[in-house]
Amino acid sequence: MTTTRDRLLDAAAELFYRDGVSIGVETLCRTAGVSKRTMYQLFASKDEVLAASLERRAPEYERRLSAGPDDSLTPRARILHVFERLEAASTEPGYQGCPYLAVLVELKDPDHPASKVARATKDRLTEGFRALAEQGGARDPLFLARQLTLVFDGASARAGARVETLDGLATATAAALLDTAGVA
């Protein structure tokens, strides 16, 4: 059963992704079908709604990028799989780039509750790349992970802004980084 809180967080995730974090409380509440009073009974502020909506969506976002923990792929193939998933997602209607990167760029406030959630999600992506790079024998796993995150975020932003079609570009770039780092 969908709760009022769920409806509010679903509406928030959709609106913030599509229209940005500057949407008003009235629009958010109208879309969710809840009163402002109800929203403020559930959350202290719109900022908290944004943070909670991002946190709620993070596991699914991360799962969609992952090859899965029981997968028999090599570390290199698992890293490249993330970029293949990014490229596939970028062709979906309504794709606007990485929602977590978008929040960080829009808010420009590292202490904002939503920025903290977004940063933690991006940090988990980098840590996942680092762990796989280490398993794959990279000479400097952390540096490679940072490079891969940079490519991921840049590709996501450019595809989301419709200035670039990824069609193999992000995966090829990641493969070149893996080659240079010695990940076979």
Structural domains in the chain plus CATH codes: 4-181 (1.10.357.10)
How far apart CA 125 and CA 92 sit, in angstroms, is 21
For 49-104, how does the pLDDT look when each residue is reduced to its tens digit (9 = 90+)? 999 999 999 999 999 888 766 678 999 999 999 999 999 999 999 999 999 999 99
Instruction: For residue range 106-127, list pLDDT tens digits in order.
Output: 999 999 999 999 999 999 999 9
User: Residue 14 corresponds to which amino acid?
Assistant: E
Q: Are 161 and 173 in contact (CB under 8 A)?
A: no
pTM: 0.92
Element (H, E) at 8: helix 4-19
Cβ atoms of 132 and 63 within 8 Å: the answer is no
